[in-house]
Copies of this chain bind each other. A is one copy, B any other.
Amino acid sequence: MAKGEAPQIEDQGTGAGPRRRPTINDIARLAGVSKKTVSRVINASPYVQKETRERIEAVIAEHGYAPDPQARGLAFRRSFLIGLVYDNPNPQYVVNMQLGLLDGMKGSGFELVVHPCNRASDTFLTDLRGFIERQKLFGVVLTPSVSEDERVAALMGAIGCEYVRVASVSVDAPQHMIETRDRLGGEAAAGHLADLGHRRIAHISGPPSFRSSRERREGFEAGLAARGLKLEPQYAREGAYTFESGIACAAELLKLSPRPTAIFAGNDEMAAGVLQAARQMGVAAPGDLSVVGFDDFEIARRLWPSLTTIRTPTREIGRLAVQRLMGRDDENRAEKDRLPVLVVRESSGPLKAG
């Protein structure tokens, strides 16, 4: 066999054994063109004659050819891997986000590598940089709270890595942002409770290390203000987005006199804690206390009473984020599909007379 000539494809169609996949050389030979021309077709170059392109595409389809991502990556000096960099420990959030990213990547030839991290670690930035540079990642999607860390955005710029930040509010240029607009969810929660007649309304916010805590609280206050109400300081508590902190804050709030008749918790975990504390203190929900959460994770439907909450379409957000990263924004989708929405269940009810 002459040097440089591609070998015949063996074992074609037997279905058994690891048969050799066709390469760009095979396609070039079969289509009677140079491999550079095949490369142009793969990369959607405009400089290919229509007839030539169609012939090559037919051969590609016939043989089920797919370019080797490693070889392509080596030549491009960039891999076809997209990283999910996250530190939010909520399993439901992580899984929904992953599913959304995979939705958006389907058929793109990219693959998803996951990278949980710890912002408090001394080696956080070094590790992240090593991960990205070693794998020559195409880009990363950052979710809260890493998405809110300016050191991370600066790092991405410094090493030339594409990135999209998912955050509750815009903190970067539009091409780097997907906003979840948590503020609107806070407003909806306030409107719901006010419309039910509640006036002594409390709030347990998340930790200041999450920007969403502030957005949800400010949205809530804005919603109250729009109805002539306000969040009284004695009815405001700062939690940690955890079940335990929800219990602790609710226990304090329910000891106050007069007691609040409604509590808006910054997330479902804390709302679960509120229901727990209320039960322990003999306060009936929703009879004596209306409770609203935020997230609409599965736990919301498992609680008793089931939880009124704000749904954030995390999966859809993930899909949008990765499409923006790949430069394939899909503008057809209505923006409303990605906005927070109120889901009314059993944990909230009208203010009891008297």
Give the interface of A toward B (CB within 8 A).
Answer: 16-18, 21, 66, 68-71, 73-74, 79, 81, 91-92, 94-96, 98-99, 102, 109, 111-114, 116, 130, 133-136, 158-160, 243, 272, 276, 279, 298-299, 301-304
Which residue from B16, B70, B109, B113 sits with its C-beta under 8 Å from A70? Answer: B70
Which residues from chain B contact A130 at a C-beta distance below 8 Å?
66
Nearest chain B residue, comparing its CB with the CB of A73: B70
The CA of A300 and the CA of B113, in the complex, are separated in Å by 30
Q: Report the minimum CB–CB distance from A96 to chain B (whole Å).
A: 8
State which of B66, B111, B301 has its C-beta within 8 Å of the C-beta of A81.
Answer: B111
Q: How far is the CA of A74 from the CA of B17 in the complex (A)?
A: 20
In angstroms, Cα B36 to Cα A82, docked, is 32
Tell me the nearest residue of chain B to A301, going by C-beta: B243
Contact of A304 among B69, B135, B304 (CB under 8 A): B304
Output the least CB separation between A245 and chain B (Å). Answer: 13
Cβ contacts under 8 Å, A95 to chain B? 91, 94-95
Copies in the complex: 2
From A74, which residue of chain B is reached at the shortest CB distance? Answer: B70
Query: How far, in whole Å, are A92 and B158 apart by their CA atoms in the complex?
Result: 35
Task: Assess whether A279 is in contact with B298, with CB atoms less than 8 Å apart.
Answer: no
Which residue of the partner chain, among B98, B112, B113, B134, contacts A66 with CB atoms under 8 Å?
B134
Residues of B within 8 A of A18 (CB): 133, 158-160
Whether A69 pairs with B134 at a CB distance below 8 angstroms is yes
Give every chain B residue within 8 A of A96 (Cβ-Cβ).
Answer: 91
Provide a sorted-by-A list of 13 A–B residue pairs whose CB atoms are within 8 angstroms: A16-B158, A70-B70, A70-B74, A81-B113, A91-B96, A94-B95, A111-B113, A112-B114, A113-B113, A243-B301, A299-B299, A299-B302, A304-B304
Collect the chain B residues with CB atoms within 8 Å of residue A116's CB: 98-99, 102
Docked complex Cα distance between A156 and B21 (Å): 16
Cα-based distance from A134 to B111 in the complex (angstroms): 11
Chain B: minimal CB distance from A283 (Å):
14
Whether the Cβ atoms of A302 and B91 lie closer than 8 Å is no
Residue of B nearest to A94 (CB): B95
Q: Which of B70, B81, B91 is within 8 Å of A94, CB to CB?
A: B91
8 more A-B contacts (CB under 8 A) besides A68-B134, A112-B114, A276-B304?
A18-B160, A91-B91, A91-B95, A91-B298, A98-B116, A113-B113, A243-B302, A302-B302
Q: Give CA–CA (A66, B98) in the complex, Å.
A: 28
Minimum CB distance partner of A134 in chain B? B66
Q: Is the CB of B79 within 8 A of A70?
A: yes
Instruction: Output the nearest chain B residue to A93 by Cβ-Cβ distance.
Output: B91
Q: Please indicate which of the listed interface residues A68, A109, A299, A302 has the most CB atoms of chain B within 10 Å of its own CB.
A: A302
A133 (CB) vs chain B CBs: closest residue: B21
Closest 3 pairs between A and B when the two form their complex, measured CB to CB: A91-B95, A91-B91, A18-B160
Is A74's CB under 8 angstroms from B79's CB? no
Contact A158 B17, beta carbon cutoff 8 Å: yes
Chain B positions within 8 Å of A68 at CB level: 74, 134, 136
Q: List the B residue with the shortest CB-CB distance to A161.
A: B18
C-alpha spacing A307/B66, complex, angstroms: 50
Chain B residues with CB under 8 Å of A303's CB are 302
A85 CB to nearest chain B CB (Å): 13
